[in-house]
Amino acid sequence: MTGYAVATSEGAAGTLTIEIKSVNSRFLDLQFRINDELRALEPDLRAAIMAAITRGKVEARLSFGRKVAGGSQVLNASLLADLARLQNEVSQHFADAATMSVAELLRWPGVIEEAHVGQESLQADVAALTATTVAAFVDSRRREGAALEAMLVARIDAMDVIVKRISPLIPQVIAQFQQKAIERMQDALGLAGHATPPTLTRQEVLERIRQEVTLYGIRIDVSEELSRLSAHLNETRHILKKGGQVGKRLDFMMQELNREANTLGAKASVKELADASMELKLLIEQMREQVQNLE
């Protein structure tokens, strides 16, 4: 799923910036844009992201902007301490010797030097900023996940309505079909006017009609498919409510729901069932597209 976070950290020598953004993807795809001087820190950033998410096409930027020369200069404390010690020693020998002014000290070679950022210090700063950025990034994905969950629950509710709407129709559809089938077969065999085919008794013909109609009635009975649909919808709702890494489990449930919807359509003997199958498949497809983006 999509997510975005950016964080900065100000230091004496410059500004660290970490930006993480992601778009939908079934798998985890990481791309990094990092300053050359920070390239050695990429494994730590990669590990932090991989520990937090499992899906998404992620782009991470890590940059370090040094301050301009006027702001990146520092005093050489060690050299100043040496100068102070030497000045005290000179005063002991020459009591009237004037002390060095601030301007003279600042002009002394080596007193002012460029700020230097140690690798260990920089790594610690990056680690702290990475933790902050990844946490904000995960929060942004969690907010979108909540919105996706609401959408999925709405689709589940819609499918529940369809299943409950057509379930009472099944016994009636089967009974009507069997009655019409019996009448058509009786007409075809000449039993409507109580005439019996010469090779079979009337009772034998009626028994054969009953068997054929019963078998075909079983083939068009979708009660079992509707029961499995209800069970799959309940399980999908349970997975969403439980939370955690649900993407792969929901992906499997979409396959199961789609299988039952297809079977319902294949067995549909009346327009109401065919329409219901189509509605279910449309809702399942809408869910499937979003499920592939969930963790």
Q: How high is the pLDDT of residue 27?
A: 81
Q: Residue 212's pLDDT band (boundaries 50, 70, 90)?
A: low
206-228 exposure pattern, b = at least 16 Cβ within 10 A, e = fewer: beebeeebeeebeebbbeebbeb
Taking every pair of C-alpha atoms in the chain, what is the biggest distance, in angstroms?
148
- Three-class secondary structure of residue 130 per DSSP: helix
d(CA 231, CA 279): 18
pTM above 0.85, yes or no: no
Q: How high is the pLDDT of residue 129?
A: 92
75-110: pLDDT as tens digits:
778 888 888 888 888 888 888 888 888 888 878 887
User: Is residue 173 packed enough to be buried (19+ CB in 10 Å), middle (13-18) or exposed (0-12)?
Assistant: buried
3-29: pLDDT as tens digits:
899 999 887 667 889 999 998 777 889
Q: Residue 171's pLDDT band (boundaries 50, 70, 90)?
A: confident
Name the residue among 23, 294, 9 with its Cα closest to residue 133: 9
Give the mean pLDDT of 195-209.
59
| The two three-digit tokens of residue 146, written as one number | 């909540």
